[in-house]
Structure 1
Amino acid sequence: MASDAIYYPKLGGFMKLDEYGSWHRPMLLCAAVMAVMTAVSAVGLAVDDRLIAGAPAWHKPFKFAFSFGVYALSWAWLVSLLRTRKRLANALSTIVVTVILVEYAIITLQVVRGTRSHFNVSTPLDNTLYRIMGISIAVMWTGTLALTLFLLRTPITDAASRWAVRLGSVLSLAGLSLGALMLLPTAAQRESMSTSAFDGIVGAHSVGVPDGGPSMPITGWSTTGGDLRIPHFVGMHALQLLPLIVMALTLLARRWPLLRQDTVRGRLLIVAGLSYGGVLALVTWQALRGQPLLAPDSATLIASAVLVFATALGTGWALRSPSVPVAAPDDHRDAARLPVLDGAGR
């Protein structure tokens, strides 16, 4: 073996096609259904000119299909990494898939009916559907919490992959939890609940402005006030971004020898995860103050600068070369399972 040969743990590189067979099948099926519904919703956006709460009717099904699909695909893979409680984890994952499909079905049904799915208690049917969605979200959160706890106890040899999976799953759970902020009634809603002016809507995603106002393209996030969907989205998708950083470091390691060291890659993922958590806290704070994402005030800009500076310092710390080089695996059985790249990157 060449002296500069490097080992990449299973999670440090791209998954092989023959490894997909171990992924959680119902989650994969859910991801496939959501991929189809993303396309269907895109067609709906093109041919249906109706507006619901000021937004294109099929905008919400489109966004939810994409988000649920990415979520399901990620957990289909993560569940396959578990080494204990496999049967329980598979059962919980199947329950999560069921509630995802139920919630998405209600969202689509309400679009067909031409009314809002979220926050809508205006009629007995709307109230019942919204309550079912609330139960579905609670079950999804509980199932994700349990799966996250299982994942935190799963041994992963590669430091970068270990931190990416663990920090990503915790931040994803935090982002899912932040969705609860949208369920609280606004001051105007509380005042109108006991009067004839009550319009049957309880909760909102915008802060400081009514829902349905001017918004950003594609995301639909408010451009005139705070939007609680931003931290919800940012947090949930940490589970995709951090593993992508691991893959990027794996590719960069072919050219930069320093990144071939497990300790360095692990440190970089710690910095990336903590910085991502800082971004999540920042956009949550910004939204709660009724501030549009693209119109930060001086306090937000200062906090952003501090976060960038701290990330730069952390990156400098992470790139320090360890005093003792990381050796190749001692166990020949482990080494046989890991792909080897020589100095030419083959």
Structure 2
Amino acid sequence: MLKLTLPLLQDIRSNQALDLNTKIDKTTSLFVFCTVFTLVIIPILLSANLLDLRMLDGMPIWHKPLRFAFSLMLHFLTLSLLMKLVIPKMREAKRIKWVAYAAVMSLWFELSYIIIQAAKGRRSHFNFETPIENALYGLMGIGAFFLVLISFLVGIMIWRYGYKDHSGLRYGAIIGLIVGSVLTLIFAGFMSTDPTYIKQKLTLEASVIPYLGWFKVTGDYKPAHFVATHMMQLLPLIGMWLDKAKLGNKLSNLMGKKNATVLFAFIFIALAFALFAQALYGIPFIKS
């Protein structure tokens, strides 16, 4: 992960318009705090995973908290770096700052609840067994919305108020954050409202891929959701590759950075919808 993020930081630093030595704005500081918070939590969860051998729904009980902590760390690290593509005076605009606060509170709530439920040996998701757990699961849906909304807004801010340098990084950030956010909400919506899928979640969890939790005996929306979510990190990295790597430069010269970035975006979109169709037809990502 360090090998991936350091070049991204160097690529942002190389743009003279972006001075990373200036005073950090409040919005970015919120993202940095969330990144550090999750980085502190991950070793604790790794230790719990080594010491606590309980299983839940076919997986070690601490795999889900680890998965969410790592994913949220990548999410806020990405936002921390990409906010530097927005001109300074717009980074603290009210329209994004208040959503950033909501996203921070959502992170605390979601991760805390997932960890508490794991410690209790209980499901955090698709848990309708008690009125409190049912209500908290509903609140998790609201929190997840704000976690995705903030990435969508950062993409819009880069598009409208970013440095117009026509870099692959800029195009990758805009398309990755905006399109990735929309697709994530679409697939998450299907997961949370499809009665057949919810029934499968409650009865087939023992037949899953370790750590990922994807079904091995029937279709699952999570692979499509995974591609959509991590498109937010991968497209900016591809944009950086178009800016810096020899092969990336050749492709950029042939197609143009915008067209090349759009091409990769269509590949991600096609892959996500192919996995979504696979889930609709009840075909598992990997058969047991």
Q: TM-score range by the shorter chain?
A: 0.7 to 0.9
Match of 1:162 in 2: 170
Shift of 1:218: 3.3
The 8 Å contact of residues 12 and 246 in structure 1, kept in 2 or not, is answered as no
Q: Which has the larger radius of gyration?
A: 1
Change in 2 beyond 3 A, CA 1:204/1:147: farther
What is the alpha-carbon root mean square deviation over aligned residues? Answer: 2.9
The 8 Å contact of residues 181 and 228 in structure 2, kept in 1 or not, is answered as yes
Q: Which residue, out of 87, 92, 95, partners 1:86?
A: 92
Q: What is the correspondence of 1:192-231 to structure 2 with a 5 Å cutoff?
A: 203=198, 210-231=203-224
1:255-306 Cα deviation digits (max 9, x unpaired): 78635749633322121111111111111111122111135xxxxxxxxxxx
Cα distance between partner residues in 1 of 2:249 and 2:141 = 50
Match of 1:293 in 2: 285
Match of 1:14 in 2: 11
Match of 2:60 in 1: 56
Q: Which residue, out of 177, 188, 195, partners 1:186?
A: 195
Q: What is the correspondence of 1:1-346 to structure 2 with a 5 Å cutoff?
A: 14-16=11-13, 19=20, 22=24, 24-83=28-87, 84=90, 86-88=92-94, 89-155=96-162, 156-177=164-185, 178-184=187-193, 186-187=195-196, 203=198, 210-253=203-246, 258=250, 261=253, 264-294=256-286
Q: What residue identity is the alignment partner of 1:229?
A: K
Identity of aligned residues (%): 24
The 8 Å contact of residues 79 and 90 in structure 1, kept in 2 or not, is answered as no
Partner secondary structure for residue 220 of structure 1? coil
Cα distance between partner residues in 2 of 1:101 and 1:262 = 45
Cα distance between partner residues in 1 of 2:59 and 2:116 = 16
Change in 2 beyond 3 A, CA 1:65/1:12: closer
Q: What residue identity is the alignment partner of 1:27?
A: F
1:106-135 Cα deviation digits (max 9, x unpaired): 111111111111111211221232222122
Residue-pair matches, total: 269
Q: What residue identity is the alignment partner of 1:47?
A: L
The 8 Å contact of residues 252 and 259 in structure 1, kept in 2 or not, is answered as no
* Structure 2: gaps spanning 5 or more residues: 1-6
Shift of 1:245: 1.4
Shift of 1:75: 1.2
1:193-223 Cα deviation digits (max 9, x unpaired): xxxxxxxxxx3675xx933132223323222
TM-score (norm 1): 0.69
Shift of 1:13: 5.5
The 8 Å contact of residues 219 and 279 in structure 2, kept in 1 or not, is answered as yes
* Structure 1: gaps spanning 5 or more residues: 1-9, 190-202, 296-346
The 8 Å contact of residues 184 and 204 in structure 1, kept in 2 or not, is answered as no
Cα distance between partner residues in 1 of 2:169 and 2:279 = 31
Cα distance between partner residues in 1 of 2:63 and 2:200 = 15
Match of 1:340 in 2: none
Q: What residue identity is the alignment partner of 1:137?
A: A
Cα distance between partner residues in 2 of 1:205 and 1:171 = 28
Cα distance between partner residues in 1 of 2:108 and 2:204 = 26
